[in-house]
Amino acid sequence: MITRWHLLETGYCRVDGRVAYGEKERGKVNCYATCALLHHTEKGWLLFDTGYAPRVVEATHDFPYSLYAMATPLHIRPERAAVNQLPRLGLSPADIQTIVVSHFHADHIGGLLDFPEAVLVCSRDAYAAVAGLTGLAAVRRAFLPALMPPDFVERAVWTETLSATTGKPEHRDLFGDGSCVLVPLPGHAAGQIGLLAAT
């Protein structure tokens, strides 16, 4: 069961409101990169995404990855990185047992390298959509290869291998107890998933 949870804001980018929210929102708006920190009674601490981290700025320094920062100007402060917010909660990076990656846009995987011991859970389709992409092909998918752990595949658990929930074969039970159910969220990115947590 999930006993505690925190929503962490890790920075934001500035985008055209019509692109982000449709015709009713005009002008530039802030798009915040958040991640969720949850505690499971038996499985320990879980992160859903990792948000931004300072290395996103480093990863967009050179062309063509600089196009990402040009299209979505970044506002990232080191103290807002998920890893740097853990101490105020009495935690360290080693306390994070599991990270669920909803999809591979840079604002969701910016902090992956800060958690070298965590199990990484994602959709195989989401990973396949970006695996091996570099240069402009990666930027077109809002993907920055420099943010990926080199041992990602070795640490990965694919959602497709998890047990399906009763009556909903497309929903996957992360811990086998119904506390964290992974659900498909098609449309924004290939293989994107969400998390239903019983708090």
Going residue by residue through the chain, which has 199 residues, state the pLDDT in tens, using 9 for 90 and above.
Answer: 999 999 999 999 999 888 777 767 678 899 999 999 999 999 999 999 999 999 999 999 999 999 999 999 999 999 999 999 999 999 999 999 999 999 999 999 999 999 999 999 999 999 999 999 999 999 999 999 999 999 999 999 999 999 998 788 899 999 999 999 999 999 999 999 999 999 8
Which pLDDT does position 16 carry in this prediction?
Answer: 87
Alpha-carbon dihedral sign for residues 131, 136, 141, 145: positive
- Measured between alpha carbons, how far is 86 from 39 in angstroms, rounded to an integer? 13
Which pLDDT does position 23 carry in this prediction?
Answer: 67
Q: Residue 39: what residue type?
A: H
Q: Tokens standing for 69?
A: 């920062």
Which pLDDT does position 17 carry in this prediction?
Answer: 83
Which pLDDT does position 166 carry in this prediction?
Answer: 78
Q: What are phi and psi of 11, to 5 degrees?
A: 130, 180
- Measured between alpha carbons, how far is 69 from 33 in angstroms, rounded to an integer? 14
Q: Tokens standing for 159?
A: 């959602």
Provide the whole-model pTM: 0.95
**DSSP string for residues in 103-167:** ---HHHHTTGGG-TTSEEEE-HHHHHHHTT--HHHHHHTT--GGGS-TTHHHHEEEGGGSPEETT
SS3 167: coil
Answer whether 8's CB lies under 8 Å from 49's CB: no
Answer whether 24's CB lies under 8 Å from 43's CB: no
What value does the CA radius of gyration of the chain take, rounded to a whole number of Å?
17
Distance of CA 15 to the CA centre of its chain: 19
